[in-house]
Amino acid sequence: MIELLHSIAAAIPTVPMAPYCLPADAVNALDTAKFWTQLIAVALAIVALILIGIGMFFSSRRGDGGEMIKSLGWWIGGVVLIAAASGIVAIFLSPDSNCIPN
């Protein structure tokens, strides 16, 4: 029985422990997509901050300036989320030096 298990285990191909390398064109395309996504996210964050500032200006004229502070808190949370997402994506998209060339 043990000999049968050894023969079956020897017949199963081994799985490589390192991932396969991505082609250079794919890595460049992923880097470009990551760059444009980050650029658009930062631009939207700046526009949102400007809109929050405008809202704070008009709210303070009515005496409700404290209500816009909540929006500023949500904006800070969103910026932190964008920064964390770009860091996590950088981990997954970074080229692996131990990859197996195709």
Q: Output the pLDDT for position 47.
A: 92
Neighbouring CB atoms inside 10 A of 75's CB total: 15
89 burial level (CB within 10 Å; 0-12, 13-18, 19+):
middle
Comparison of pLDDT for 21 and 82, the residue scoring more: 82
- Give the percent of the chain with pLDDT over 90: 5
Greatest alpha-carbon pair distance for the chain in Å reads: 86
- Residue 28: pLDDT band (50, 70, 90) is confident
Task: Report the predicted TM-score, pTM, of the whole model to 2 decimal places.
Answer: 0.60
Helical H segments across the chain, by residue range: 2-11, 24-62, 67-93
